[in-house]
Amino acid sequence: MEHTLLDFNLRVMAPELIIVSAAALLVILELLLKESTSRNWIGWLGLLAVIAAGVSVGMEFGHPPYQILNDSYRVDSFSLAFKALLLGGGGLTILFSLAGGKNEQPKPKGEYYILLLAALLGGMMMVSSADLLALYVGLELLSLSSYILVGINKRDRHSNEAAWKYVVLGGVSSAFLLYGMSFLYGLTGATNLFAIQGKMVEMVATQDQAYIYVSLFLMMVGFGFKIATAPFHTWTPDVYQGSPTPVTIFLAVVSKAAAFALVARVLLIAYLPLVSTGAWNEIVSWLLMILAACSMIIGNTAALRQTNAKRLLAYSSIAQAGYVLVPLSTLGFVGFDLFPSLFYYLCAYLFMTAGAFAVADCIAKSCKNDQISAFAGLSRRSPWLAGVMTIFLISLAGFPVTAGFFGKFYLLTSAVGSNQAWLAAAMILTTIVSYYYYFEFIRQMYFRAPDLAAPRVSVSWAAWAVLAIGVTGTLALGLFPDLLLHELGKIDWHSAFAQAQNAIRQ
Amino acid sequence: MSAQVALLIPLFPFLAFLLLIFGRRFWGEKAAAGIGIIATFASFAVTLPVLWGSLGKGQTITWSIPWFHLGEKAVFLSMRLEPVNVLMLVIVSGVSFLVHLYSYGYMRKDERFTVFYAYLTLFTFSMLGLVMSANLLQIYFFWELVGVCSFLLVGFWYFKPEAKEAARKAFVVTRIGDVGLFIAIALLYWHVGSFEVMDVKAAVLNGKLTPGIITLTAILIFVGAVGKSGQFPLHTWLPDAMEGPTPVSALIHAATMVAAGVYLVADLFFLFTASHQAMNVVAYVGGFTAIFAATIGVAQNDIKRVLAYSTVSQLGYMMLALGSTGYVAGMFHLMTHAFFKALLFLCAGAVIVSLHHEQDLRKMGGLWKTHRWLGYSFLIGCLAISGIPPFSGFFSKDEILESAYADGRTGLFIVGVLAAFFTAFYMFRLFFMVFAGQARGEKNREPVPRVMMVPILILAFMSIISGFFNTPGDRLAHWLTRTGTATISLEHAPVWISAVAIVVAAAGIFLAYAMYASERISPERVAKSVPWAYQVVYRKYYLDELYRAVLVWPLKGLGWILTGFDRFLIGGLVYLSAWIAQLVGRIGSRLQNGQAQTYVLISLIGFVILIVGLTAGRLFP
């Protein structure tokens, strides 16, 4: 029977619809405005839309999975949880952008917020799609919007360079991804992930498996680019450094989290039949573990030699990507129960990374110096900012009392539990290495006399708001992890990897 | 005595910390010191009824609330005050109170006086929390927190480059130990399914854990203790940590935090006694550290460094005792050491203040004439640590030697006796160089403020009497082992052990007297007659140099290699393309310099290596 768009309960798409209509509305409104009118309220409306979408995501929880649009798009607890995370990250980004002090170069405000919303929409589509095409559309919507966002400061040379690199390298990664998808389509004749899974079950039993691996590895290159995991991380330092900081936060948090959800979804649906032949444990797990280990090693060691604050944090985020891959890579050994730990770490990562980048941005703007040396004597110049930064740093380094500690703790437990001692060892050793460079910030802030010529660090109210949210989140999750874990425990993660009741093809 | 009252103990310093840190612009010196002193005194006052309840009624206070869930299992915030915890509470709050009092004199006119008190109260809070915890994860929390406080206080005078370096070193070196502890906790959780010390204990006693796991976790926990308690080979941070203000050295790096490692081993003693190998490791590392650090102490010329090596050595004694199943001996020595070492450090601080911040022993001397009371106190400390009866150190050290002997560790027993000789020697070398003879350097001596003398005299008094807590009658032993933590043999070892210990200590004192007071033997001649030995000891067995070579350089090397890769391979291509671009006559544009191509190339190579490496074996068997 033919299904039309109206046969589905479109209520489940409410968050996406809110974002897309907000974006569309703002485009039209922006056109009607005079050039001289302030565009700040567009940001406010965008933030409002994000909050509204967040509320509607919250209301969706607890329903059984629901598939629409010819099974290509599904709403389940997994996607809802990730949407909540993405909206949180997007909301923080918009909030931070609202700061825009007077001394900043003029920013094309209107389209900036609209593009952010579009990118957010792309991310939400990514985490909800159950079809290669829908998935790719979401990915490109996110990517194309991000390319422009990175280069939004038209007159900033660094921003331009970053955007150019991001476009070219992002294009390459998309090419890899599409090439991999085309193999998958060629093998199975389907783009729906569940249909692919069905075919895959037959194929792993009979055929030569070389093409399956080719498709998998090609797609992993594409995903690796998005997650910024070594050896596909090369764009990250340049782009993170060159982008306007709110955009960096967006890339580091939203784009990365969406890509993680994507990897989990594609691997655990399309390639799940590999488990039965043992190829999962031999190849897929190892692939992810090697990527994880490479990211930890390269991210952490390369960060040792950085002098630019944002660049250093970029390398640190490469390392964090490696940590986040750990639960995913050990899934084959332990089972699905590791999603709470993955998600917990992503939340912790959201708070601490957004916070650390925001502090770095405040200091770089005030001191006109984006080196770590600009942090010198911060504990005396602005003790509050130094204190806040310290909390983010100890969380990034994985010390107790902060969210980062429990995040690492869960990851480590899962690595130990899967008997992958070498991975646990890599985690621990690279974590120790990371102390050195996180320590460098602390040393500058507390043990260096301030430069007498250094201006006062001015922190806008919006930046304070972001920092307050970051600190609250980091400390709350660090002291009372149950706040989040309890909720995560209630989520039915398994449902994300099985057909929904209302599927057309059962 | 309810648990809620006991919870007040760490609460007071924590409140003081909040008051001080948020009002650091607001409080004057008097107010800030007052807050710290009152808070720590309040803690100490509350520990007394707890102590009374534990001593008299045999009460064990317990308390726990759910903290968070790991999967289905709840993890608790919990407290359990067995005698060992109560003993630590009394020591920590008592010494902390005295040091808070002393700091008012020592830190006066420091620019960041309030911040100093804030850190000190935070440390007291963390340390009290640590010794009250009955949950491994909670212990780890406080364990890290005391480490952070130690770091902040060592680097308190951040404008001194040595202090900065020392803080960094203390932090990183102890972290190496902490990683061991963390893995042990994760392993225990994985195998027992709980962080509660009591659950772990039950699992060990019921034989739920394999011997291999017990040994492994015990040794990993010991690695944590080694880092914190400055045991060989992770001791190098402790002498450097003396760059911190002297009250900090007395409180953190002598009496309390560095003893946390010993405490941890004692607290998890059931785990260690279940594994013979682990006990051996503890005993041998402890014994070796005791003699090793004592020999280094002989050749140091900085008053605080001598004391630091002495601390390392004494902590080694405690580990030796624990490793020889001398549970009571170890905790007994921990207690007496807390008193006499805090005393020695506070005296050293007074000496330093009176000599206008001179720390070099060679520039001291003749202080006996001008600072008689300080001299008496210092002498009491030296006699106590050297093990001369009736001072406290004699009794506890005697217990340690006895337990090593009773455990059949004759080799370690001899090591302990030898170390006692060195201890007596370097302590009296210190004493004579500071107090005897004529002033060699600074002639103009300041009097010591009274607020600093009061804590010194209290500690001196404690150093005299605390030995009698256990002798005669083994009261401390009965109390500590009441809950069956360890068994003790109340048969006393032969009397000759005490006799030997006294003779050896007296010989050390006499040698020191001959060399440094009556100067019948010239120290230079001794040093020259065995120049290599002196050099080796003076350079602390070249361990720092060794670490730099083995650990730091490869790490830096890796960083350099990767930077080199970044700079020369990628950078080389940048320059090459820029050069070509110039050749063509165009302005070198950063946008088209080939860098992005290199990036893609790296990814492509990564892809090829991954796919070939991982699937080749499967596709072409």
Residue B484's pLDDT is what? 62
The strand pairing partners of A67, in sequence order, are A74
> How far, in Å, CA of B179 to CA of B182, rounded?
5
B557 CB near a chain A CB, below 8 Å? no
Residues of B in contact with A157 (CB under 8 A): 590
Count of other CB atoms within 10 angstroms of residue B373: 13
Please give the pLDDT value at position B350: 86
As to burial, measured by CB atoms within 10 angstroms (0-12 exposed, 13-18 middle, 19+ buried), residue A211 is: middle
How many other C-beta atoms are found inside a 10 Å radius of the C-beta of residue A28?
A: 8
The answer on B469 and B386 residing in a single domain is: yes
pLDDT at residue B492 in the model? 61
Q: Is the torsion defined by CA of B117, B122, B123, B127 positive or negative?
A: positive
Residues B435, B358 within the same domain: yes
Is B187's CB within 8 Å of A164's CB?
no
| Residue B412 counted as domain residue | yes
- Closest residue, chain A, to B179 (C-alpha): A428
* B477 vs A190, higher pLDDT: A190
What's the mean per-residue pLDDT of chain A? 84
Q: How far is B150 from chain A (nearest CA, A)?
A: 14
Measure in Å the smallest separation between the Cα of B184 and chain A Cα atoms: 11
Q: Are A234 and B602 in contact (CB under 8 A)?
A: yes
Residues 6+ apart with CB under 8 A from A182: none
CB–CB contact A305 B559 (8 Å): yes
Q: Is A449 left (phi over 0), alpha (psi -120 to 50) or beta?
A: beta
Pick from A126, A138, A156, A52: which is nearest to A94 by CA? A52
User: Given a cut of 70, is residue A371 above it in pLDDT?
Assistant: yes
DSSP B317-348: HHHHHHHTT-HHHHHHHHHHHHHHHHHHHHHH
Phi-psi region at B542: left, alpha or beta (left = phi > 0; alpha = psi -120 to 50): left
CB contact under 8 A, B596 and A298: no
List the single best residue of A447, A475, A482, A493 to mutate versus B (max B Cβ within 10 A). A447
**pLDDT at position B581:** 36
**pLDDT grade for B571, boundaries at 50, 70 and 90:** very low
* Amino acid B254: pLDDT: 81
For residue B514, being part of any structural domain is answered with yes
Judge whether residue A227 has pLDDT over 60.
yes
Pair (B513, B555) in one structural domain: no
User: Residue B194's pLDDT band (boundaries 50, 70, 90)?
Assistant: confident
Contact B606 A439 (CB under 8 A): no
**Pair B550, B524 in one domain:** no
Within-domain flag for A170: yes
**Residue B490 pLDDT > 60, yes or no?**
no
Query: CA B404 from chain center: how many Å?
Result: 23
Model confidence at B489: pLDDT above 60: no
Q: Which residue has the higher pLDDT, A332 or A454?
A: A454
Q: Is the pLDDT of residue B171 over 50?
A: yes
Is the full-model pTM beyond 0.80? no
Q: How confident is the model at residue A276 (pLDDT cuts 50, 70, 90)?
A: confident
Q: In this complex, is the C-beta atom of B620 within 8 Å of any C-beta atom belonging to chain A?
A: no
| pLDDT value of position A392 | 92
- 3-state SS track over A169-226: HHHHHHHHHHHHHHHHHHHHCCCEHHHHHHHHHHHHHHCCCHHHHHHHHHHHHHHHHH
B611 touches chain A (CB under 8 A): yes
Predicted confidence at residue B309, as pLDDT, reads 87
* C-alpha angle B138-B142-B143 in degrees, rounded to nearest 5: 105
Domain that holds residue A106: 5-497
* Whether the predicted pLDDT of B162 surpasses 80: yes
pLDDT of B586 reads 36
Q: Chain A: nearest CA to B533, how far in angstroms?
A: 35
User: Please, what is the Cα angle at B176 between B174 and B179, to 5 degrees?
Assistant: 110
pLDDT of A240 strictly over 60: yes
Q: Chain A residue with minimal CA distance to B156?
A: A447
Average pLDDT over residues A126-139: 91
- In this predicted structure, the answer to whether residue A61 has a pLDDT above a threshold of 50 is yes
What amino acid is encoded at A478 in this protein?
A: G
Contacts of A294 in chain B (CB under 8 A): 606
B337 within a domain of the structure (yes/no): yes
Contacts of B77 in chain A (CB under 8 A): none
B152, B159, B614 member nearest A287 (Cβ): B614
Check if the beta carbon of residue B122 is closer than 8 Å to that of residue B248. no
Q: Chain B contacts of A307, Cβ < 8 Å?
A: none
Q: Where are the beta strands (DSSP E) in B391-480?
A: none
B164 contacts in chain A (CB < 8 Å): 443, 447
| B467 Cα distance to chain centroid | 22
Q: Name the pLDDT band for A449 (thresholds 50, 70, 90).
A: confident
Domain containing B575 equals 545-619
Confirm whether B68 is domain-assigned: no
Q: What is the pLDDT of residues B1-44, one digit of tens each?
A: 577 888 888 899 999 998 888 887 788 888 888 888 999 999 99
**Same-domain pairing of B588 and B444:** no
- B322-380 pLDDT, tens digit each: 888 888 888 889 999 999 999 998 888 888 888 777 777 777 777 777 778 888 888 89
**Given this model, what pLDDT does residue A468 score?**
92
User: Looking at the DSSP assignment, which residues form a beta bridge with residue B411?
Assistant: none
> Per-residue pLDDT for A142 more than 90?
yes
CB B231 within 8 A of CB B315: yes
Q: Is B596 on the interface with A (CB under 8 A)?
A: yes
Nearest CA of chain B to the CA of A475: how many Å?
13
Other beta carbons within 10 angstroms of residue B12's beta carbon come to: 24
Query: Does ipTM surpass 0.90 in this model?
Result: no
Residue B272 near residue B322, CB atoms below 8 Å: yes
- What secondary structure does DSSP assign to A36-98, as a single string? TS--HHHHHHHHHHHHHHHHHHHHHTTSPPEEETTTTEEE-HHHHHHHHHHHHHHHHHHHHHT
Residue B405: pLDDT band with limits 50, 70, 90:
confident
Decide if A217 and B610 are in contact by the 8 Å CB cutoff: yes
Q: To which residue do tokens 């598939």 refer? A: A67
- Closest among B530, B540, B526 to B296, alpha carbons compared: B540
Residue B157 maps to a domain = no
Q: Which of B189, B559, B600 sits opposite A172 (nearest CB)?
A: B600
- Inter-residue long-range contacts of B612-619, CB under 8 Å, 24+ positions, other chains counted: B614/A213, B614/A217, B614/A282, B614/A283, B614/A286, B614/A287, B614/A290, B615/A210, B615/A213, B615/A217, B615/A283, B618/A209, B618/A279, B618/A282, B618/A283, B619/A209, B619/A210, B619/A213
Residue of A nearest to B157 (CA): A447
When pLDDT is averaged across residues B589-604 and rounded to a whole number, the result is: 60
Please give the structure tokens belonging to residue B421. Answer: 């000789």
Asked whether the predicted pLDDT for residue B604 surpasses 50, the reply is yes
In this prediction, residue B577 carries a pLDDT of 42
B474 is a domain residue:
yes
Partner residues linked to B73 by β-bridges:
B70
* Chain B residues in contact with A230 (beta carbon < 8 A): 606
Residue of B66, B167, B606 lying closest to A232 (CB–CB): B606
Into how many domains does chain A fold? 1
> How high is the pLDDT of residue B549?
57
Whether residue A413 is contained in a domain is answered as yes
Lowest mean pLDDT among A265-279, B85-99, B564-578: B564-578
User: Tokens for A28?
Assistant: 């039209």
Same domain, yes or no: B487 and B381 = yes
Asked whether residue A91 is assigned to any structural domain, the reply reads yes
Please, which pLDDT band fits residue B591 given cuts at 50, 70 and 90?
A: very low
The arithmetic mean of pLDDT across residues A104-111, rounded, is 61
B100-111: per-residue pLDDT in tens? 988 888 888 788
The model's pLDDT over B266-300, given as tens digits with 9 standing for 90+, comes to: 888 888 888 888 888 899 999 888 888 888 777 77
Does B479 lie in the same domain as B609?
Answer: no
State pLDDT tens for residues A160-199: 888 888 998 899 899 999 999 999 898 888 888 888 888 8
Higher confidence at residue B490 or residue A390? A390
- pLDDT of B618 higher than 70: no
Whether residues B68 and A485 touch (CB distance < 8 A) is answered with: yes
A304: nearest CB among B559, B607, B614: B559
B615/A283 Cβ within 8 A: yes
DSSP A457: P
Instruction: Give B307 to chain A, closest Cα distance, Å.
Output: 26
Query: CB within 8 A of A377, min separation 6: which ones?
Result: A444, A445, A448, A449, A450, A451, A454
Q: B417 and B467 share a domain?
A: yes
Looking at the complex, report in whole angstroms how far the Cα of residue A190 sits from the nearest Cα belonging to chain B. Answer: 24
What is the predicted pLDDT for the residue at B566? Answer: 43
Check whether residue B477 and residue B568 sit in a common domain.
no
Does A409 contact B186 at a Cβ distance shorter than 8 Å?
yes
Q: How many CA atoms lie within 13 A of A76 on its CB side?
A: 26
Which member of B164, B175, B186 has the closest CB to residue A416?
A: B186
Can you give the pLDDT at residue A432? 76
Q: Which residue has the higher pLDDT, B68 or B52?
A: B52
Q: What is the mean pLDDT of residues A227-240?
A: 85
CA gap B321, B331 in Å, rounded: 9
Residue A359 lies in a domain: yes
Q: Indicate the residue type of B164.
A: K
Contact B39, B12 (CB under 8 A): yes
Task: Give the total number of structural domains in chain B.
Answer: 2
In-domain check, residue B384? yes
φ, ψ (nearest 5 deg) of residue B357: 60, 40
Q: Which of A350-354, B281-285, B450-454, B594-598 has the lowest mean pLDDT?
A: B594-598
Chain B partners within 8 Å of A234 (Cβ): 598-600, 602-603
Residue B149 lies in a domain: no
| pLDDT on residue A411 | 81
Question: How far out from the chain centre does Cα A360 lie?
Answer: 19
- Tell me which of A496 and A355 has the higher pLDDT: A355
Q: What are phi and psi of A396, to 5 degrees?
A: -60, -35
Q: Which residue has the tokens 């060989």?
A: B232
Statement to judge: residues B314 and B383 lie in one domain: yes
pLDDT at B544: 61
SS3 of residue A403 by DSSP: helix
Touching A: B residues 327-386, CB under 8 Å:
none
Tell me whether residue A504 is in a domain. Answer: no
Contact A447 B167 (CB under 8 A): yes
Burial class from Cβ neighbours inside 10 Å (0-12, 13-18, 19+) for residue B410 reads: exposed
Which residues in chain A have Cβ-Cβ distances shorter than 8 Å to B148? 394, 399
pLDDT in tens, B505-562: 888 888 878 777 666 666 666 666 666 666 666 666 665 666 555 555 554 555 455 4
Phi–psi pair at B518, nearest 5 degrees = -85, -15
Tell me, yes or no, whether B324 and B370 share the same domain. Answer: yes
Which chain B residue lies closest to A279 (C-alpha atoms)?
B618
Q: Per the structure block, which two tokens stand in for A257?
A: 């989290």
Structure confidence at residue A102 (pLDDT): 46
pLDDT digits (tens, 9 = 90+) for B226-272: 988 888 777 778 888 888 888 888 888 888 888 899 999 988 888 88
Rounded to the nearest angstrom, the minimum Cα separation between B85 and chain A is 22
Residues listed for chain B = 621
Of A326, A308, A447, A410, which Cα lies nearest the Cα of A367?
A: A308
What is the spatial distance between Cα A173 and Cα A243, in angstroms, rounded to a whole number? Answer: 19
| Inter-chain CB pairs, A–B, below 8 Å | 145
Are A261 and A278 in contact by the 8 Å Cβ rule? The answer is no
A503 inside domain: no
Is residue A83 very low, low, confident or very high in pLDDT (cuts 50, 70, 90)? very high
Phi/psi zone of residue B514: left (φ > 0), alpha (ψ -120 to 50 degrees), beta?
alpha
Rounded Cα gap, residues B225 and B234, in angstroms: 10
Mutation site for A-interface testing, chosen from B17, B234, B600, B602 by largest number of A Cβ within 10 Å? B600
Does B414 share its domain with B511? yes
Q: Which residue of B has its CA nearest to A431?
A: B179
Residue A121 has pLDDT above 90, yes or no: yes
The answer to whether A443 contacts B168, with C-beta atoms less than 8 Å apart, is: yes
Which residues lie below 8 Å from residue A262, measured CB to CB, with a gap of 6+?
A126, A127, A135, A139, A223, A226
Q: Mean pLDDT score of chain B, rounded to an integer?
A: 80
Q: Are strands B61-70 and B73-81 parallel, antiparallel or unpaired?
A: antiparallel
